Structure 1
Amino acid sequence: MVTDSEVLAFFRGELGLMVTFTFKPIPIELDTPLQGYAEWDELPYAIEDFGEKFHVDISVIDFGAYYPWKRESVYRKWFTKEPVVQTSEPLTIRMFAESARTGYWLYARMP
């Protein structure tokens, strides 16, 4: 059975490490929204590799449910305390881990 830590380790190996202004590493966690962590040019490749490694059909993922995603500017916290309001659902590693255990994407939208 696939564990959360296996899937987390997989994505940590696939995605680049995010750092702060002072180069302090920001490790990705199970509930970190992938849209805000990874660049769009690397995320599809990681998801494709995930599907192959864990035998999950990723073709049913509706990216329209997860994008657009508003990225928070580094300077935003200096001007406002209001959180960024997202209109899309977060795409998290926990979702991938749960899907890997079942063998199919659990979060497919029904028409």
Structure 2
Amino acid sequence: MVTEQEVLEFFREQLPVLGTFTGKLIPLQLDDILQEYSEADDLVFCMNKYSDKFNVDLSMMTYNVYYPWFKTWFFRKWFTSKPVEQISKPLTVRMFAESAKAGKWLYD
């Protein structure tokens, strides 16, 4: 049986690691929003590998439900406290882990 930790480690290996201005690395966590953590191109490539490795059929996944995703400007927090209104649902590693356990995409 596939564990959440296995899926998390897979995504950590496949996606570029984020870092701060001081060079501190920010490791990916189960509930991090993948659209904010990674570029769409990297994520799509990773999802294809995920599908093969964990034998999960992602053909039922509706990509338009999760994109477009509006990334915030780094300095935005100093100019406004109004949250960005996303029109798409967030993707998390936990969603992929649960789907790997079930053997099919569970969300949308």
Shorter chain as denominator, the TM-score bin is over 0.9
Quote how far apart the aligned CAs of 1:54 are.
Answer: 0.3
Runs of at least 5 residues in structure 2 that lack an aligned partner in the other structure: none
Rounded Cα–Cα distance in structure 2 between residues aligned with 1:72 and 1:19: 16
1:63 aligns with 2:63: yes
Please name the residue that 1:39 is paired with: 39
Please name the residue that 2:13 is paired with: 13
Quote how far apart the aligned CAs of 1:10 are.
Answer: 0.3
The runs of 4+ residues in structure 1 deviating greater than 6 Å are none
Superposed CA deviations along residues 26-70 of structure 1, whole A, max 9, x for unmatched, are: 111111111111111211110000000000001211110001101
TM-score w.r.t. length of structure 2 = 0.95
What is the number of residues matched between the two proteins? Answer: 108
Secondary structure, counterpart of 1:16 in structure 2: coil
Q: Within 5 A, what are the aligned runs for 1:1-111?
A: 1-107=1-107, 109=108
- State the Cα RMSD in Å: 1.0
Letter matched to residue 82 of structure 1: K
Runs of at least 5 residues in structure 1 that lack an aligned partner in the other structure: none
Quote how far apart the aligned CAs of 1:3 are.
Answer: 0.7
Quote how far apart the aligned CAs of 1:82 are.
Answer: 2.1
Superposed CA deviations along residues 77-101 of structure 1, whole A, max 9, x for unmatched, are: 1111222221110011000000000
Rounded Cα–Cα distance in structure 2 between residues aligned with 1:28 and 1:12: 6
